[in-house]
Structure 1
Amino acid sequence: MATTARNQITIVDLNDAKSVQVYFTASQGFSQHYNPDTHKFSPAYPSANNVITPRVYETGDPNDHLARCTNVRYTINGTAFTASNSNTSYVVGADGRLTVKVNLTGNLNVTFEADYADEDNIVSKIGGSFTVVRNESSGALFQVVLTCPKGNIFDKSVAGDLTVKAQAVRGGTPDTTNVSYAWTQFDIRTGVWKPVASGRSNGAVLTVKPDDVLNFQTFKCVATDAGGSDAAATAEEIVTFQDLTDPYVLELYCPTGDKIVNGTGSTTVNARVWQGGTKVEDEATPEPSRKFTYAWTKLDASGKPSNFNGTTSPSKAGNPLTVGAADISGKATFVCEITKK
């Protein structure tokens, strides 16, 4: 069965804030193309700035809450930028947006961090990351363009699957000779790109099913021209899909707090499932009456899977989850996924 909902919690302090998710939009897309023959960039960021906008969503709330963020910081290829130390190349606005004003000399690996205050004025750290890719070919400009014929949002108006179509272009003309396409998707649990589900990709076309998207899911296409009459080249582009149809919301709640004190004791994480503002199942629901199974994954401070203490696996099942002091080294994040039985 496909995963129905997902959420995560980090055990590190006394904050019981709601889960917050961040994804990003870019006014000029997440790639810039350079033609070494003409020495031109497309788009040219000095004249057409690329404005990156974080979208901040809280569990069960469809509204964007970027305005609740303070102390916004972007780390670009290892250098931190804030509203107070922006320069002529990278500008962090008072509204939390990042404006890229300089053409790329390489990929921009960007991390976003901010302090987020929920409606109860509880402040927690949030973050996310993205890459702005620089594409360059050895001959005429080679790039891949992605289009979504029916859009990239699942909502009540969408019936069935959505698709992404890739088209390789060289020098502004479609390139159909010796070109192949490879599709991957970003795994937020491990921070790596992994193959899409079997049967989803068919050459230049990727089929995206509602079950493939939990809130947001980013896909990447890499186009490769093996060469021949044209020079060999590669190019890549990404696209993010949004799901507004999932009726289930997963809430994670720590009645004993999310801090381990002095390396002793334990805490408990309860998973609660809501639908349409009504709680349909929680940790107190008897096992025979449960509609869902609960799978937990432990991630260490660097975001990599880490085995639970006394086991050889980073995974556990059940609801609630007990986290012992031996499971925490500085901090650890626990991702919960529910699947309908």
Structure 2
Amino acid sequence: MGIVSTGQFTLVDQNDAKPIMGFISAAGSTQQVYTFSNGAASFLPNWASTPLVLTAKIFVGGVDVSSDGAISGRQWSSTFNGTDLGTGATYSRNTNFTTPDTTASQVIYFRAVYTDPVTGIASRIDMSILLGVVKTGIEAVFVEISGLDVIKQADAATKNVAYIKAVLNRAGTIDGDNLQYRWYSVSSAGVETHLFGTQPNFGVKSTAIVAAPTALPAEVGNGSFTTAGATAAAAWTTAGSPGSNTLVVSENAVTNYQLFKVEIRDSSDSAKIYSSYFTLYDVTDPYLVQVASSAGDRLLNGVGSSALTPQVFKNGGLLGSLTGWTFDWYFFDKNGARAGFVASATPPTPDVERGITANTTGGVTVDAATTLAAGDLVKLVSPAGSVVKFAQVAALAAGTAVVLQTPTGDNVNCGAVSATGLVASEFVGGTLFKAVAKKTTTAGAALTLTGDDVDGKSTVKVDAIRP
């Protein structure tokens, strides 16, 4: 599971940027009813005779700026980032669904740019609306969707699932004979990704025609698409009665919302393909991470320590258990630059602390034998504490001569100097500490920050990773 929240222990000045919100309003129903009986077809409403007018509404700080001069680059399209439907503030849909038997919905996209008149900052705004058609009459055939279309992120290791059942309604009766399915996830750019093979966040199953769909977390993954027959790109699930008519979706696959598509092929109806789109929504309340410090926000003269304890809030309340949670801690110096922590297996005592007796541009000599390995990060502090640098160890000669090398991995992000990045003698009389680029705690355990870590002022950031 990826990072679900990030917090830090510092004071911030909250900005007063105004929130931007946009949506598309429709002057009429966004869903048509298609009737085909006795060879005659009709649509209600009929957009060909009375166009459906869509209007893009944009609010900044609660104020409608839809027609304001701060809005530019208006574009309507039938695909994300497309350019086919005009550039006005409104779009008139003057055509009915051309293939209502097989295509039951269409997404209309709008985008524009809002330029803040005060700061000059330009922000892109994207919005969309779903148009649909349902079929009635004695000859109507359409895809019918049911199930659980909202999902909440679980706080523990066992994940929640959503489940959607898609059936073929033919003339008012559910058709459950010799059906094949293809399921797709659809990106915000309109790219359809066929779900097949072993899918870690998805599964398919068969649900009886008369039964409501249900699903368990164990039905996600485990090659369920493979056993259902969808073993390759563009492949259909194995034909069945009713067939693989239920999609199981893990919470890990849905962030805010996720659009999906289902196709159903009926081998008893000339292999005609029927399709429909549906959306799953993540209704999880956001996590908030706060850091409690046992010693407040001050250490005196570089002495002492403070235990930093992560606290995770959800739904306005403190989570009682953080079992399975992981917390990655990062250190930033007084200039806001990423730095490292002093390594300490038993804080506040450093793992390695040695006086520096000499230094060249490519290494230092310490006053007592120590143990360091190639790739280790070290923190070098000048006698007065005014100069602090991090470096990566290449080798240790005779137990006291530390040779540096070009930093690699996360040590680079800590600003470690090059293999010859020191100034000769700048650290003589100072101190060498073994350091680490980041620290990790689990289950809400505290991180101990000491005076050896803090040089004047610092900020500690923590990433909370849910199990």
What is the TM-score when the length of structure 1 is the normalising length? 0.49
What is the TM-score when the length of structure 2 is the normalising length? 0.38
When Rg is computed on C-alpha atoms for both structures, the one with the higher figure is 2
- The structure with the largest strand share of the pair is 1
Relative contact order (alpha carbons < 8 A, sep ≥ 6): 1 or 2 greater? 1
